[in-house]
Amino acid sequence: MRGPLILHQTVEYKENESFIIRKATKEGANHTYIKNSHWHDELEIAYILAGRSLHYIEGECIRADPGRLVVTNCECIHRISVDVEDSSPPDNAAALILLIPKRFLEEQFPEYKSLWFLNEKKEARPEIREIMLRLSEYHRESSPKPHEDLYIRGLILLLLHYMCEEGVAPKPEFVVQNEDAERLKNILRYIDGHYREPLSQADIAARFYFTPQYFARYFKQCTGMTFTEHLTGRRIHQARKELLQTDKLIGNIALDNGFSDERSFICAFKKIYQLTPMQYRKNIAQRLH
């Protein structure tokens, strides 16, 4: 059995969430934060606050000191190692890691599809630092009010504007990828395009030339979840959006998103959200009113 593969990271968002920002902090006696190699659909922006960091992006190593912005374009394989000194800020933050979902980029910044952010500047302009610090003030525990959400979106768009001025290029037609990661991406893209249909692990294994037993191990090792967990999660994710954005019947939502019947949808939904779909829809509606 091969060693751990490059992981696909699935990022979960709350309702209408425009971004996720995390803090890389010093951990353990060696004061080093290390994130394993992974990839995701989001645009990732790291701003270094303290210490030094190494960013491995698609085989390139970028060394960053405080004040540098490092951008990882969507679907690029990457990992970060941050070494923090004792003189780090009071909250021990070494870097701010901002994730912007692809759907936000495609809706608010359509030109992004043809652009590739570069990492040529060793020090970011002060305005970028200010925006990253402001975004870090918004925590996920409480949903932003409508006017705050507007402000947040404005900050992100302004950040993207400054990042374009820092350096962009036409998106390359082909990016060298790890063979296993590229194979997994193709599998996940296929699932994304066909999750509404009856899909089985055996079907996917055969389509991508795996034995069923090996595919089960491969998928779990690459994603950290079983094929069934991933497929159910993908269906639930889309079904939840339809619960909130449409008045479709629960049974129709279930069938339209690949569930065999309403009961299986309710059981799967309740396992994740601890509420039935109808209860979830009513709770959100009450909060909005």
Look-up of token digits 């350096």: 167
Same domain, 196 and 100: no
Long-range Cβ pairs for the range 225-233 (8 Å, 24+) = 227/201, 228/201, 230/10, 230/188, 230/191, 231/191, 231/195, 231/199, 231/258, 232/268, 233/10, 233/272
Same domain, 158 and 202: no
pLDDT of residue 139: 58
Same domain, 21 and 113: yes
**pLDDT digits over 9-66, tens only?**
777 776 666 788 887 765 533 344 556 778 888 999 999 988 888 898 887 899 999 9
Give the number of domains in the chain: 2
Look at residue 1 and tell me if it is in a domain. Answer: no
User: Residues 212, 205: contact at Cβ < 8 Å?
Assistant: yes
Q: Which of 170, 189, 223 is the last residue of a domain?
A: 170
Exposure string over 61-90, b if 16+ CB within 10 A, otherwise e:
ebebebbbbbbbbbbbbbbbebbbeeebee
Predicted TM-score of the model (pTM): 0.69
- Is residue 274 pLDDT above 70, yes or no? yes
Same domain, 160 and 185: no
Backbone Cα Rg of the chain: 21
Look at residue 244 and tell me if it is in a domain. Answer: yes
Specify the range with the lowest mean pLDDT, choosing from 76-90, 113-127, 152-166.
76-90
**pLDDT digits over 183-202, tens only?**
888 898 899 899 999 999 99
Report the C-alpha gap between 37 and 20 in whole angstroms: 19
Give me the mean pLDDT over the 229-245 stretch. 90
Q: Which of 170, 196, 212 is the last residue of a domain?
A: 170
Same domain, 234 and 130: no
Same domain, 233 and 93: no
- Is residue 90 pLDDT above 50, yes or no? no
Which CATH number do you get for residue 240? Answer: 1.10.10.60
User: Residues 87, 37: contact at Cβ < 8 Å?
Assistant: no
CB-facing half-sphere around the CA of 12: CA atoms within 13 A = 9
Same domain, 116 and 81: yes
pLDDT band at 88 (very low <50, low <70, confident <90, very high): very low
Question: Which residue, among 237, 235, 270, 275, has the nearest Cα to 255 in the 3D structure?
Answer: 235
Query: How large a percentage of the chain has pLDDT more than 70?
Result: 81
Report the C-alpha gap between 199 and 231 in whole angstroms: 8
Most confidently modeled range among 72-81, 90-99, 135-144: 72-81
Same domain, 130 and 164: yes
User: Residues 99, 11: contact at Cβ < 8 Å?
Assistant: yes
Q: What angle do CA 59, 62, 63 make, to 5 degrees?
A: 145
Look at residue 39 and tell me if it is in a domain. Answer: yes
Which CATH number do you get for residue 137? Answer: 2.60.120.280
Query: How large a percentage of the chain has pLDDT more than 90?
Result: 44
pLDDT of residue 137: 83
The parent domain of residue 40 ranges over 7-170
pLDDT of residue 191: 92
pLDDT of residue 91: 53
